[in-house]
Amino acid sequence: MSSTICLATLVLLLVGCVCSLDHRLVNRKRYKRGFNHHLDSSKITLQNLTCDYIVQPLDHFSSSTNQTFRQRYCYYDKYVKDELSPIFYYIGNESPLDEYVNNTGLMYELAAKEKFSALLVFAEHRFEGESIPNFTAFPEDMGCFSYLTSSQALADSIALISYLNPKYNRPIVAFGGSYGGMLSSWLRMKYPGTVQGAIASSAPIFGLPLTMSGNITNKQDWQSSPNDGTMDGAFHIVGSAIQTTINDSKKKGRDNSCYENLLMAWPLIRQTGRSKDGRALLSESFDLCEPLRHEEDVQLLIEWAQSPWFDLAEGDYPYESSYIPFALGEGNSKLPAFPLQHACESSGLANNLNISITGDISNVHFNIWLNKTQSLNDGDDDILLVQVDWRNLTANDRNFAEFQKTSAREVFSAVKNAVAVWFNVTKKVHCFDVIPAINAKNFTRLQKNKFSDTSRKLIHQNENVKNFESRIHSSTKQEMCLEKLQNETVWTSLICNEYMNLIMIYARGVGRDPFWPPSHDKEIRDYLDTLRNREAVEESYEQLCADPFNYYGYPDKTLVDPMSSFLDSEYGGTRIKSHSNIIFAGGLLDPWSAAGVYADNLQGELLNQKSQIKYPFVQNLTHDGSMIALLLDLGGHHLDLMWSDPEDPPCAEDARIIQELHIEKWIESFYKEERHSNDGH
Ligand SMILES: *[C@@H]1O[C@H](CO)[C@@H](O)[C@H](O)[C@H]1NC(C)=O
Ligand SMILES: *[C@@H]1O[C@H](CO)[C@@H](O)[C@H](O)[C@H]1NC(C)=O
Ligand SMILES: *[C@@H]1O[C@H](CO)[C@@H](O)[C@H](O)[C@H]1NC(C)=O
Ligand SMILES: *[C@@H]1O[C@H](CO)[C@@H](O)[C@H](O)[C@H]1NC(C)=O
Ligand SMILES: *[C@@H]1O[C@H](CO)[C@@H](O)[C@H](O)[C@H]1NC(C)=O
Ligand SMILES: *[C@@H]1O[C@H](CO)[C@@H](O)[C@H](O)[C@H]1NC(C)=O
Ligand SMILES: *[C@@H]1O[C@H](CO)[C@@H](O)[C@H](O)[C@H]1NC(C)=O
Ligand SMILES: *[C@@H]1O[C@H](CO)[C@@H](O)[C@H](O)[C@H]1NC(C)=O
Ligand SMILES: *[C@@H]1O[C@H](CO)[C@@H](O)[C@H](O)[C@H]1NC(C)=O
Ligand SMILES: *[C@@H]1O[C@H](CO)[C@@H](O)[C@H](O)[C@H]1NC(C)=O
Ligand SMILES: *[C@@H]1O[C@H](CO)[C@@H](O)[C@H](O)[C@H]1NC(C)=O
Ligand SMILES: CC(=O)N[C@H]1CO[C@H](CO)[C@@H](O)[C@@H]1O
């Protein structure tokens, strides 16, 4: 039974509970639903905040270095009532802080409420934006990023909070999304006396190798939570998001064949690409700038056309948004509302394309047919196109030629139109340039190792190492470190210094998602197998963290397990039930939710009865209900943190109401204790 995976992973969470109670607390009269008309979201940006710097030691934990850096933080105090008002603290993640100042609308909307009247503080992550050390001052033998770790980042926050709240008489609520959500939850766990509670949105803290069960996939599918501890969990979620229809009334009577059509497209593309004519057909159908010349190029086309689905799922917000494109370097171009479903529907990929699939999809053993109707059975070889067995592909040449003449163009154009939603988000692309990806093998795996940013930049890394060699003597340390940081943001260093590898993105195409070919050999069943057959893990790791110039601070790379278990011990893995006052929120459209925190053994009522999912919306993680998980059925990446919007699905509005209730409790109990301890003196 598949829930054994979750039991193994989550057994210590101790949650026998069905957590539908909180929603009864939701008093819709008291907590007005809908977006807050008093705030014009477009008006609060960095220029409305006051920024300052605090000098931080590069190393909080020893005197191994005396280097310091200036950390930027910005605050907004228009709502503050007095010097005891709470502080809502955004712990920065892997972008300059403007990104979070602009987008974390939830904080402003809550802070503005009379009962909170909070001071808003946004901190910048060390080595981001304006919080970059002066590398010139570093001793020659010190790596640029040796002190770029999550533990140091948390200590920065504690130093800053202690500076802002020297008497510890103001309650602090930490907020964060994505890696920032991991940090905000860890901040509360590590420093509960300094931070009274945390909102940790889309925080995949259960994604670390030893925290997850590490099975490659799960044949039984989700039974108790979207986090089943598998290495293909993230792409499984992409697939289930593709199958999610947003507007039932609009879709009534129509099929959503997007998932099946996508799955079928890859073997058909691969087979088509075997001939020169086929490659010409592909090049034309996909509007490629440079035609595919070799059969090997075809796999790169496949990788390229598979890569946006993850990003579309992550950015599957109910309104037009540039949040994910911006984070991935596409500037301020906006994706349409629910871009994933839009990609399927507007492209025709959700339609019946006259191709069908039969067989054992979960074992990647299936046949693809042309114009198959109910009346034809699997023996009718005159319509069989290809047979897929794991990575092997066998075609019926005659039928395939027919397919190329008839349906192929429609199928390939549909895939092209779908991925154009992402690749042509600027609306200014004349043709698609798949060729850069040709220099960048393992494009997808590297990209998926990141929350955001730099995928495009990372793929040049191998070349950079070469370029570097020629430049090492001509560039200063400052230049080199800055450039590397610009290319990679802090995320790569975190992965490399701390092995912050989130392994639910490591497997793909192994039977539970619409991708092909499989990322792993059929015999490989779990993470340990993957380590034994090291290539898969090590290649990407070694490539990503190649360090010929001593940038990083990571320990012995010859360790048996290149991913190490340090973070698991540092933050406790799934063993978090002794903590309190944390709200984990995850969206079921967001692939990162595959490593989110959920209660185990879930049953019970759904808050939103129309929901297409079978998990409770509110889940107690501890008996006392002080640590909960919220599962947003129609949530993209930390949707709850965004400015509220008239298009928000009910889950987002309800999540914010529950967050508000909990924050109120945390703050009240802080003041009560304060008064109590003051009375005692
Ligand atoms: C992994 O899957 C196998 C079945 O394929 C199952 O027996 C085993 O319990 C799973 N491992 C974990 C840790 O859940
Ligand atoms: C933010 O700053 C702009 C420009 O100074 C100003 O027009 C706007 O009113 C400010 N918004 C808020 C909410 O303070
Ligand atoms: C740090 O500064 C102290 C006092 O100036 C000095 O004794 C020590 O050697 C310095 N440590 C390092 C690692 O530079
Ligand atoms: C934040 O918003 C301002 C004003 O709209 C814009 O100029 C800036 O580029 C935005 N920054 C980020 C990081 O989104
Ligand atoms: C950076 O460090 C170098 C060497 O210590 C120093 O000369 C320079 O003034 C520093 N730059 C800044 C901006 O502090
Ligand atoms: C859903 O469909 C209905 C009926 O066609 C329409 O009125 C509504 O605006 C649609 N909502 C969305 C979010 O597309
Ligand atoms: C399949 O269907 C298409 C359109 O429905 C048609 O043009 C084509 O001839 C058919 N191919 C075969 C092999 O039946
Ligand atoms: C795929 O083909 C190779 C070489 O022909 C063969 O060794 C292997 O067993 C096949 N794999 C499957 C899953 O059929
Ligand atoms: C990108 O979008 C623009 C505007 O819709 C369109 O004119 C152009 O053809 C598209 N490019 C590609 C390669 O599809
Ligand atoms: C950063 O990226 C640019 C462009 O891809 C490349 O030329 C440069 O060498 C890279 N620098 C480093 C330090 O990786
Ligand atoms: C969840 O926690 C709340 C608050 O303590 C509690 O009232 C409720 O009974 C808990 N739910 C379950 C099913 O244990
Ligand atoms: C840079 C590069 O191409 N690295 C590896 C990517 O993955 C393939 C196979 O998975 C390897 O052959 C490459 O060496």
Which ligand 2 atom is the nearest neighbour of the CA of 78? 14
pLDDT of 151 > 50? The answer is: yes
Residues in contact with ligand 10 (CB, 6 Å cut-off): 457, 460, 464, 467, 480, 483-484, 487
Compute the distance from residue 584 Cα to the ligand 1 centre, in Å: 26
Give distance in angstroms: CA of 251 to centre of ligand 6.
Answer: 10
Residue 473: pLDDT over 80: no
Q: Is 295 in the pocket of ligand 4 (CB under 6 A)?
A: no
Report yes or no: 100 and 72 within 8 Å, Cβ to Cβ. Answer: no
pLDDT given for residue 224 in this prediction:
63
Render pLDDT for 345-371 as a digit per residue (tens, 0 to 9).
Answer: 999 999 999 999 999 999 999 999 998
pLDDT of 495 higher than 60: yes
Instruction: Give residue 429 CA to ligand 9 midpoint distance, Å.
Output: 6
**Residue 5: pLDDT above 60?**
no
| Ramachandran angles phi, psi of 524, nearest 5° | -80, 120
Report the distance separating Cα 278 and Cα 179, nearest Å. Answer: 43
So what's the pLDDT on residue 446?
35
Q: What is the mean pLDDT of the segment spanning 522-535?
A: 78
What's the CA gap between 551 and 494, in Å, rounded? 12
Nearest ligand to the C-alpha of residue 62? 3
Asked if 315 contacts 302 with a C-beta cutoff of 8 angstroms, the reply is no
Burial-class residue 137 by CB neighbours within 10 Å (0-12, 13-18, 19+): middle
Integer CA distances (angstroms), 599 to 324, 352, 606, in order = 28, 38, 14
Give pLDDT tens digits for 646-663: 999 999 999 999 999 999
DSSP for residue 230: B
Residue 549 has pLDDT above 70, yes or no: no
More confident residue, 78 or 330: 78
Ligand 12 center to residue 548 CA distance, Å? Answer: 19
List domains and CATH numbers for the chain.
Answer: 48-211+572-678 (3.40.50.1820), 241-440 (1.20.120.980)
> For residue 36, what are the contacts with CB-CB under 8 A and spacing of at least 6?
109, 112, 644
Averaged confidence pLDDT in the chain: 81
User: Which amino acid residue places its CA nearest to atom 8 of ligand 7?
Assistant: 406
Note the pLDDT of residue 432.
92
How many residues in the chain? 681
The 3 state secondary structure assigned to 131-157 is CCCCHHHCCCCCCCCCCCCHHHHHHHH
Segment 381-418, tens digit of pLDDT: 778 999 999 999 999 999 999 999 999 999 999 999 99
Closest ligand, as measured to the CA of 543: 12
Mean pLDDT, range 627-651, rounded to an integer: 94
Q: Whose CA is nearest to atom 11 of ligand 5?
A: 134
Ligand nearest the Cα of residue 403 is 7
Q: What's residue 376's pLDDT?
A: 65
552: pLDDT strictly greater than 80: no
CB under 6 Å to ligand 5: residues? 134, 136-137
| pLDDT of 232 higher than 70 | yes
Question: What is the per-residue burial (b if ≥16 Cβ within 10 Å, else e) of 437-465?
Answer: bbebbbbbbbbbbbbbbbbbebbebeebe
pLDDT band at 9 (very low <50, low <70, confident <90, very high): very low
Instruction: For residue 70, give both structure tokens.
Output: 């200036």
Q: How confident is the model at residue 229 (pLDDT cuts 50, 70, 90)?
A: confident
Q: Could you report how far apart the first and last alpha carbons of the chain are, in Å? A: 57
Q: Is 47 in the pocket of ligand 2 (CB under 6 A)?
A: yes
Write the secondary structure of 561-594 as one string of H (helix), E (strand) and C (coil). Answer: CCCCCHHHHHHCCCCCCCCCCEEEEEECCCHHHH
Residue 439 has pLDDT above 60, yes or no: no
Percentage of the chain exceeding pLDDT 90: 56
Nearest to 75 by CA among 41, 40, 111: 111
Measured from the CA of 134, which atom of ligand 5 is nearest? 1
Identify the bridge partners of residue 75 per DSSP, sorted by sequence position: 50, 121
Q: Report the Cα 481 to chain-centroid distance in Å.
A: 26
Query: How much is the pLDDT for 327?
Result: 79
Q: Are 224 and 602 contacting, i.e. CB atoms less than 8 angstroms apart? A: yes
241-263 pLDDT, tens digit each: 999 988 654 454 456 899 999 99
Sheet bearing 384-389, strands edge to edge:
355-360, 365-370, 384-389, 392-395
For atom 13 of ligand 1, the residue with the nearest CA is 213
319 lines ligand 8 (CB under 6 A): no
Residue 153 makes CB contacts below 8 A (sequence gap 6+) with 91, 125, 126, 183
Average pLDDT over residues 169-197: 97
Cβ contacts of 294 within 8 Å, gap of 6 or more: none
Rounded CA separation 212/229 (Å): 5
Using the atom order of ligand 7, give the atom closest to the CA of residue 399: 13
Query: pLDDT tens across 575-621, in order?
Result: 898 999 999 999 999 999 999 998 864 443 443 344 445 677 888 89
Q: Give 474 Cα–ligand 5 centroid separation in angstroms.
A: 19
Is it true that the peptide bond before 517 is cis, omega within 30 degrees of 0? yes
Atom of ligand 4 nearest to the CA of 99: 13
Q: Using pLDDT thresholds of 50, 70 and 90, give the confidence band for residue 48.
A: very high
pLDDT given at position 343: 97
Do the Cβ atoms of 149 and 494 come closer than 8 Å?
Answer: yes
**From the CA of 15, which ligand is nearest?**
11
- Decide if 239 contacts 260 (C-beta within 8 A): no
389 CB less than 6 Å from ligand 8? yes
Task: Report which protein residue has its CA nearest ligand 12's atom 12.
Answer: 441
Please state, in angstroms and rounded to a whole number, the distance separating the CA atoms of residues 453 and 530: 27
CA-closest candidate to residue 229, choices 210, 201, 250, 245: 210
User: Mean of the pLDDT values across residues 12-26?
Assistant: 27
Question: Which of the four pLDDT bands, split at 50, 70 and 90, describes residue 21?
Answer: very low
Q: State yes or no: pLDDT of 170 exceeds 90.
A: yes
Question: What is the distance between the alpha carbons of residues 363 and 355, in angstroms, rounded to a whole number?
Answer: 20
- The answer to whether residue 70 scores a pLDDT higher than 90 is yes
Q: Which helix (H) or strand (E) holds 478?
A: helix 477-498
What pLDDT score was predicted for residue 330? Answer: 72
Q: Is the pLDDT of residue 460 over 80?
A: no
How far does the centroid of ligand 5 lie from the alpha carbon of residue 136, in Å? 6
pLDDT attached to residue 614? 62
Please tell me which residue, 468 or 110, carries the higher pLDDT value. 110
Nearest CA to ligand 10 atom 12: 484
- Give the nearest ligand 10 atom to 460 CA: 5
Residue 94: what pLDDT? 87
Higher pLDDT, 676 or 280: 280
Regarding the beta carbon of 424 and ligand 9, being less than 6 Å apart is answered yes
392 lines ligand 8 (CB under 6 A): yes
The least confident of 146-150, 167-171, 323-327, 454-458 is 454-458
326 lines ligand 4 (CB under 6 A): yes
- Measured CA to CA, the distance from residue 91 to residue 425 in angstroms comes to 29
Ligand with smallest separation from the Cα of 7: 1
162-187 CB burial, b ≥16 within 10 A, e <16? eebbeeeebbbbbbbbbbbbbbbbbb
Check pocket membership of 287 for ligand 9, CB cut-off 6 A: yes
Mutate to test the pocket of ligand 6, among 244, 245, 246, 247 (most ligand atoms within 8 A of CB): 247
Task: Using the CB atoms, write b or e for 341-367: b if 16+ within 10 Å.
Answer: bbbbbbbbbbbebebbbeeebeebebb
Which residue from 468, 476, 477, 487 has its CB within 8 A of the most atoms of ligand 10, so it is best to mutate? 487
Which amino acid is present at 239? G
